[in-house]
Structure 1
Amino acid sequence: MIYFNRGLPASELCFETLRHTYFFHMGKGIPTVRGDGVYQKALDFGIEKLNNGEWLHFFAEGKINMTREFSRFKWGIGRAIAECNKFPIVLPFWHQGMDDILPNRAPYIPRIGNKVTIVFGEPIDLKEILQGMKKRNLCPVVVRKKLTDIIEEEMKILKTQAETLHDSLL
């Protein structure tokens, strides 16, 4: 099976100039409008791609994290899982140190020689949980939140592991 990588980057950041648009278009980015909620066209298109067996990368915090503090995840990820015709494989990962390579502040010049740590978690199987919620006929808001919360909790664990590993390798 072939997997195509797609992401949901913020339209106002990644598609604001012709050069950025070309770059993110070549990376199969789907322009996502922050603030348009879980029923926007970008997420509809992403769910369609999941249904075709494609890979969809979520930036689950829905923003650039300037403070490195953990932010609650946006419910679009829960909606995508809940509305997908197939049960997607959810593969969580956390990276630490990317802002040492390309700072989040000016001057935005890549800095070579820095370290990035990536920690992958086990795939999260949400099939039984989702089936149980559908059998109980829970409202879509509750389903989205529960699915998102499960992923968020796993990501908190991965964040701690990545930070610990990253700091130990300095």
Structure 2
Amino acid sequence: MRTMEWAARGDHLGGIPRKMMFMSVGAFAKAVANLLNTTTVYNLETLLRLVRHRPPGVPLLTVSNHMSTLDDPVMWGLKDFPVTDAESGRWVLAAEDICFKNPVLSYLFRLGKCIPITRGGGIYQEHMNEALDRLIDGAWLHTFPEGKVCQEDAPIRRLKWGTASLIVRAPVTPIVLPIVHHGFEKVMPENYMFGRRPPIPLCNKDINIVIGEPIIFDVPKLKHKALEMSRDVPFSHAGWPKTICGLDEAAQRSLYTTISEQIRGVMERLRGVSKSFFKTN
């Protein structure tokens, strides 16, 4: 069962609550990113182009590291970015245990185009199907494939397979755009006082965002390779569908690993670019 899916629909109460939510949260994001802190962005024009002018019916899937609970929406509060536009705004996977604790929070986050994900619920849980539906619609979806907040200056961790599964299952392969940022861990530190986050975002911090170039995936070719590599590999039948897009579990695991590692490698290279670029600017 999909949690409060009716509240996430664009026609809910004529779309007015969603528009109000995007305007208020967008204003908050712009204030935190540009007034209270200093945000520097590399390659913003690529993100703007793909949000505004990608081919009709082609979904956009942005992926980023996860430095704080404020990454979304503040990372979209960039100058010249249409963060208050509810129609073109992103859908995002959000942790159910944080954003959907009660009916009020559930309703508000649903208005903000958030899709609840149960951590540990697997890549084929019902709300992942909802995320897939949004890609089928040709919409923009954002994910944090590391799966949880990490505030250490450390290499990108092994990615969860959910993002890879969406890429494979989408009828039209999405444009995958990697993003790496740092600075949000200073704006909303996890252990600010007595092991808790601060009640409001901190000020006078530097936020740096590096937007990469689209990652191209030849999914049919990757499927064929996964089938070849997994032909003699046993699998566990651990509750997975017997076939997804014609692939058994062993092939799915091989395919999702390959895609996830490619994304992680690109994100790690962007992390290096981020360090060198912002140290010299």
Q: Specify the TM-score bucket, using the shorter chain as the normaliser.
A: 0.7 to 0.9
Q: Which residue of 1 aligns with 2:211?
A: 120
Instruction: Number of aligned residue pairs: give it.
Output: 167
Q: State the identity as a percent.
A: 30
After superposition, the C-alpha distances for 1:121-159 in whole angstroms (9 at most, x for unaligned) are: 110010x2x111334562111111111111110011111
**How far off its partner does 1:19 sit?**
5.5
**How far off its partner does 1:165 sit?**
3.3
TM-score, normalised to structure 2, is 0.55
Q: Which runs of 5+ in 1 are unaligned?
A: none
Q: For 1:37 and 1:148, locate their aligned partners in 2 and report how far apart those are by CA, in whole Å.
A: 15
Larger Rg: 2
After superposition, the C-alpha distances for 1:2-38 in whole angstroms (9 at most, x for unaligned) are: 7441111111112224554344223211010000111
Residue 151 of structure 2 contacts residue 185 of structure 2 at CA under 8 Å; is this kept in 1?
Answer: no
Within the candidate set 30, 33, 37, 2:118 is matched to: 33
Question: Structure 2 counterpart of 1:40, which letter?
Answer: Q
Q: Which residues in structure 2 correspond to 1:58-137 (within 5 Å)?
A: 58-69=143-154, 70-105=156-191, 106-108=196-198, 109-126=200-217, 128=218, 130-136=219-225
After superposition, the C-alpha distances for 1:30-79 in whole angstroms (9 at most, x for unaligned) are: 01000011111111111111011011101110011133433110011110
Within the candidate set 14, 25, 28, 2:99 is matched to: 14
Q: Which residue of 2 aligns with 1:149?
A: 261
Q: For 1:107 and 1:56, locate their aligned partners in 2 and report how far apart those are by CA, in whole Å.
A: 27
86-95 or 102-111, larger mean C-alpha shift = 102-111
Q: Which runs of 5+ in 2 are unaligned?
A: 1-55, 57-86, 228-250
TM-score, normalised to structure 1, is 0.88
Greater RCO between the two (CA within 8 Å, min separation 6)? 2
Q: Which residue of 2 aligns with 1:52?
A: 137
After superposition, the C-alpha distances for 1:81-133 in whole angstroms (9 at most, x for unaligned) are: 0010001000100111011112222242311221110001110010x2x1113
Question: Structure 1 counterpart of 2:96, which letter?
Answer: S
Structure showing the higher strand proportion among its residues: 2
Q: Which residue of 2 aligns with 1:159?
A: 271
Question: Structure 2 counterpart of 1:118, which letter?
Answer: I
